[in-house]
Structure 1
């Protein structure tokens, strides 16, 4: 009997709603918590390790023109892996899927570590992305399977701690390894971490029961279409003109819309049936999951550059703004996870997009007025917005999904988050370039371009707020109907 099943036996309903942090430290929960957090850590630390070490690898191989592809291929195949995850889990079981994905990730890491040129690095990054996309998605799907509902917020809080640790320690560790040893060491450190992850998976993830429901065929054409759409979005960042970028984005949008319509009619769907339906809490909640990181991408792409260019901050001081956002995200996530009332946590969901919107208004005003202190206030508000809503919203979307579709919903969450950042980077790139963003532009033109970027981010955040409020209204209507 799993930990979730033992804790869901008829007992004290009040206790079921409360949960305690110390329960995650009990022997039967601790290993499961560490396993899922390590799966997140592989993704988080790898992102920070590679972003710090790659420039040195590029300098060694002389492949500067291929630098962006190292990130593009990783992102595209991470999203493809996430799209595959639910089907692979249904077909082979979570245990076998995670082990296989970890081995793919390790293979990619070894190829990149031993590379003698940029083509091998790119091949390694492709495999890393594919493996990590599956791992992150399946780890999300395992949360409601391995833990009772009362502990799910605590698990999301623990994962927030992992992200904050990665944001701080990742660049530091990778920088030290790269500077005093080799960029290859920064890549290779993922191998022992993956080995530990595989051992923990073997220890805690149960083998699939015989006689379970048969999985459908793998929808390769739709997965390829989704991946191609993301590739077009990534390519739009390197297009030579605003018109070419816009054309690529429009083509990607057309692919997504047609593929989603086709997916809804398929018996082997990738997405849950009500995905993005504005009349269902699952659909509107998924819009929030997409739009919040899309809006925040305006800051993640351009804020550090703005601090250095417009206000003369050094790299470390400018990077502190990102660390400030990560700290506020994690601190708030821990506080919210400690609240004993699940209903109260749900009622706070709409405040997440609200704080994101207010934070982006702060960034817009900072650029418009030249007051850099608004940047740090805005970053705190943005991080707090994610911390107050992200874990609870993720749990809510899992809860409103049917049992048959819960895996599809769970695996979609990290995939949709990555897609939001990718789309946001492209959209804000078009906005900045259209307003004259260029390395040689003057400060006035640069300010105008960044003002447009953050102002558009405010519009996207306002849309996320609309869907957040609508999600709660639809939930109340759903509860009255039950």
Structure 2
């Protein structure tokens, strides 16, 4: 705990120590599952004869996560975080069990859909717990802890997943996480059980989902979220079609997904309007770039470099380590020595350079250590950026809109990543006839464009407002009804 915080904040930090550790443990388990599945999925697709659904298996939890995020955000704003926390954990665990026992790739993708529904909700509920339990000056420290929670799984996740796959079975990668989630969530639930819905900051205005027609607003948002998820999955499935059907499905799916996204994020997000919309837009592009590239690196190494699954996971380990290192560094520097806007601008540039270097390395078939270093560079940029984007969203949000705006950030994150995965799946299929490294290079090149777009948008994340009454940036203006937001 840095000395700069007030005595009251220090007391809160001490009182919530167990809760903080449990929240970080949730991130830890999600990180382990994500990194491990990325490592073992080439083996899974081979055993279940599901190479055609490889990209869909990754896009499925991201797409369904959008629905979970919207449901959890509105639910937490309306009733408090306890109930959505229980529902989210239940869906997450059930999805892991289904995926772990899946006899076919189709069933596994179905389990991943359910897992994503719960995982997306868990992410948003965790943000709401931070907003409700911790003072604002502790938010950067908590979110730095979230990012640092990737350290241990980044060290042991991919190698352990490879060892489990080689010596036991890949199914245990899913089932083991399902067992461990339950007691961790129980610790957080004990603390948040008495936390109800937030009181409006202004008595003359009710929170969005408690105002007249609030339930209809929430229903519309869920409907748009379902439409976005279906569109993204259709986009990913277009890679399995042939001829004009591929192009038509991809164009329609992508267009519908963007229309739905515009209804789920703050007004002006798709135009990167300065302030809150630009932060959300930057996150969506950044997630699409990084995670769209990440899933193809183990694929490249195992198929083109003939590297074992255990060693292929080292590439992800290096990036996760530098992500955690940069997150710890930005947390120690604080806002005074490294402002939020500057951290986001620098971080997105570093990510762009790292992905571009990885693409070049793949194009020339550089040695494996080169790919490890270039991808680790991209991970460092993510560590500088991700926590600060989350902090800015909470800072730009009123207390009663924390859940809705947190869900908007997570929705942009998830749709950005899932659309990137779906499009790269189409690109990969189109370039497959060229053979060699060409399909992988084509997919990585697309993610470089997304990363560059995030770096451009990052220049607009500072709000127009000056400062609030306490000297901190005043909340950015956001729509009372985010479901009515347009581009």
Q: TM-score range by the shorter chain?
A: 0.7 to 0.9
Give the 3-state SS of the residue equivalent to 1:339 in structure 2: helix
In the other structure, the counterpart of 2:251 is 250
In the other structure, the counterpart of 2:348 is 353
Gaps of 5+ in 2: 200-206, 475-487
How far apart, CA to CA, are the structure 2 residues paired with 1:121 and 1:308? 21
In the other structure, the counterpart of 1:341 is 335
1:476/1:458 CA distance change after superposition, 3 Å: farther
In the other structure, the counterpart of 2:451 is 461
In the TM superposition, residue 430 of structure 1 has moved relative to its aligned partner by 3.8
Pick one of 360, 364, 369 that aligns with 1:365.
Answer: 360
1:257/1:383 CA distance change after superposition, 3 Å: closer
1:193-242: CA deviations, max 9, x gaps?
Answer: 2321332133111434479652523224322211212212322343435x
1:49/1:328 CA distance change after superposition, 3 Å: closer
In the TM superposition, residue 287 of structure 1 has moved relative to its aligned partner by 1.3
1:115-155: CA deviations, max 9, x gaps?
Answer: 66666655543332222221112112222222222222222
In the other structure, the counterpart of 1:284 is 278
1:37-82: CA deviations, max 9, x gaps?
Answer: 2332342233345556667777777777666655444333222211
How far apart, CA to CA, are the structure 2 residues paired with 1:459 and 1:427? 13
Q: Which moved more, 1:313-322 or 1:355-364?
A: 313-322
Matched, 1:156 2:143: yes
In the other structure, the counterpart of 2:322 is 328
Q: Is the 8 A contact 1:272 1:408 kept in 2?
A: no
Q: Is the 8 A contact 1:99 1:201 kept in 2?
A: no
Number of residue pairs matched by the alignment = 455
Give the 3-state SS of the residue equivalent to 2:240 in structure 1: coil
Pick one of 8, 26, 42 that aligns with 1:39.
Answer: 26
Query: Structure with the greater relative contact order (CA < 8 A, sep ≥ 6): 1 or 2?
Result: 2
In the other structure, the counterpart of 1:10 is none
Give the 3-state SS of the residue equivalent to 2:215 in structure 1: coil
In the TM superposition, residue 16 of structure 1 has moved relative to its aligned partner by 4.6
Q: Please show how residues 126-145 of structure 1 align to structure 2 within 5 Å.
A: 126-145=113-132
How far apart, CA to CA, are the structure 2 residues paired with 1:450 and 1:55? 14
How far apart, CA to CA, are the structure 2 residues paired with 1:58 and 1:432? 16
In the TM superposition, residue 19 of structure 1 has moved relative to its aligned partner by 7.9
In the TM superposition, residue 111 of structure 1 has moved relative to its aligned partner by 4.4
Give the 3-state SS of the residue equivalent to 1:99 in structure 2: helix
Q: Is the 8 A contact 1:42 1:132 kept in 2?
A: no
How far apart, CA to CA, are the structure 2 residues paired with 1:97 and 1:108? 16
How far apart, CA to CA, are the structure 1 residues paired with 2:305 and 2:337? 44
How far apart, CA to CA, are the structure 1 residues paired with 2:428 and 2:80? 45
In the other structure, the counterpart of 2:371 is 375
In the other structure, the counterpart of 2:89 is 102
Give the 3-state SS of the residue equivalent to 2:143 in structure 1: helix
Q: Which moved more, 1:229-238 or 1:468-477?
A: 468-477
Q: Is the 8 A contact 2:55 2:236 kept in 1?
A: no
1:336-360: CA deviations, max 9, x gaps?
Answer: 1011434623122200111112112
Q: Which moved more, 1:94-103 or 1:159-168?
A: 159-168
1:387/1:59 CA distance change after superposition, 3 Å: closer
In the other structure, the counterpart of 2:380 is 384
Matched, 1:426 2:422: yes
Gaps of 5+ in 1: 1-6, 8-12, 264-269
Q: Is the 8 A contact 2:140 2:387 kept in 1?
A: yes
How far apart, CA to CA, are the structure 1 residues paired with 2:106 and 2:359? 40
Give the 3-state SS of the residue equivalent to 2:5 in structure 1: helix
Q: Please show how residues 43-82 of structure 1 align to structure 2 within 5 Å.
A: 43-50=30-37, 70-82=57-69
